[in-house]
Amino acid sequence: MTIFSKVISIIFHPVFTIVYSYLIYFNIQNIYNQMLFLAAPKIYWALLFFLFLMVVFFPLVTIYIMYRNKTISSMSIPNRKERLPVLILVTIYYLMTYYIFRYWNTTLLNLFHPYLSFLFSGLVLIVFLTAITYFWKISLHSSSISALCGGMMAETLIAQPVSSLDQVFYINMALLVLVGIVCFSRLYLSAHTLSQTIAGLVLGFSLAFSLVFFQIYI
């Protein structure tokens, strides 16, 4: 069970959340995705590559450099105070990613709408997590996976019409199950207390669902 929990923690590391959201959203059959593929099918892969660089590759390289320079004691960053500089740098990466996508959205006939609000919710969430981490060690894993779940639920409610209701149902059910598995894994590894895990879950889900459902972004 320890190996299983460690694997789950790696696969659903917070840095991968935005990439997973992109893969899920742009494979849900609705009018926005059909327009994107018809307009320029190669854009899908170009955007995915850019997203991977900005929110996965660069943050992980930054963490590795900080580890080699002994700025942080471990790649998993178990120490609360060591997480602060990492979260601040990741916030900068997210901010750049969001505004670049926002600019591209205006040049591509708003084809990212309503996905843009999900990117904004991710940016707002990491700002909240950074502020909370200054005082308390909240679970980043539970907040990110629950934000993915809440954001995607809201997306599937507003990104109508969808071609397959069964597809949307199974996606949301799978995400709910993943929330439970990820939270269990973090608790099993004693990476967080129950209160830290629940706080991350509630914050991530409620924030992402609200911002995406009401299409709030700047």
Q: How many domains does the chain have?
A: 1
**pLDDT above 60 for 185:** yes
- 10 Å CB burial of residue 180 (0-12, 13-18, 19+) is exposed
Residue 158 has a pLDDT of 79
**Containing domain of residue 13, as a range?**
2-213
Give pLDDT tens digits for 77-106.
888 899 999 999 999 999 999 999 998 888
Closest CA to 45 of 57, 34, 55, 36: 36
Rounded average pLDDT over 179-208: 95
**126 close to 87: Cβ distance less than 8 angstroms:** yes
Let me know if residue 218 belongs to a domain.
Answer: no
pLDDT in tens, 2-61: 899 999 999 999 999 999 998 888 777 555 555 555 556 677 888 899 999 999 999 999
